[in-house]
Chain A
């Protein structure tokens, strides 16, 4: 079946603008995660959804970042008033469940490369 998909693959914006990044998880996966990866670093956790609700948003860096998953499938990460420091690759992952067992294995999408000029 289809894997996790993310759109757009690349996004270039100007400082201060608003951006939306979309994630389409694997069908049937109830858990969805957003991570951010800077050059030379491992991904860093941003937010985790179980179904429609944000179960853990402790990784969001500030209130300019917000994410939704209104129907428990597709998720959108929203960034307001973008700053140059927001430039990174934003990765989305999904898992069958949010539990940390075998069914919690996370599968990642190709990412969206965000560049803020």
Chain B
């Protein structure tokens, strides 16, 4: 059974800092891993999907890496801004071709002006 852990649960940083959000998963037989952003009272916005054949994926100031062997993924946010304040969730699929996702509880990020 896939289990996804995100620690810490909350993080507060001053504007401009580079930061790393961590995600660990137990079943490394995954085809991809997806990072999402969730604003309060809203649905999930897909940020990045990393395929198992990739080690990194970049979109603007965001960079996600995947290390299947260690069961870890990181989301790097460069030059953080107050608008980055949200909850960030990582999700790993169950083994096999079925891509139903198991989510972590998320990391609530607050970027102080």
A residues apposed to B, CB below 8 Å:
4, 6, 31, 33, 35, 40-45, 48, 55-56, 59, 91, 93, 95, 98-102, 104-111
Instruction: Verify if B70 is at the interface (C-beta below 8 Å from A).
Output: no
Q: Can you name 18 A-B residue pairings with CB atoms under 8 Å? A: A4-B43, A6-B43, A31-B99, A35-B101, A41-B105, A42-B91, A45-B101, A45-B102, A100-B30, A100-B31, A100-B93, A100-B96, A100-B97, A104-B31, A105-B46, A106-B46, A108-B43, A109-B43
B residues apposed to A, CB below 8 Å:
4, 30-32, 34, 36, 42-46, 49, 51, 89, 91, 93, 96-106
Contacts of B34 in A (CB 8 A): 105-106
Given A45-B102, A100-B30, 10 more A-B residue pairs with CB atoms under 8 Å apart are A42-B89, A44-B103, A48-B98, A55-B98, A100-B96, A105-B34, A106-B91, A108-B45, A110-B42, A110-B43
Q: Which among B4, B31, B98 is the interface contact of A101 at CB below 8 angstroms? A: B31
In the bound assembly, the distance between CA atoms of A20 and B101 in angstroms comes to 23
Contacts of A59 in B (CB 8 A): 100
Contacts of A109 in B (CB 8 A): 43
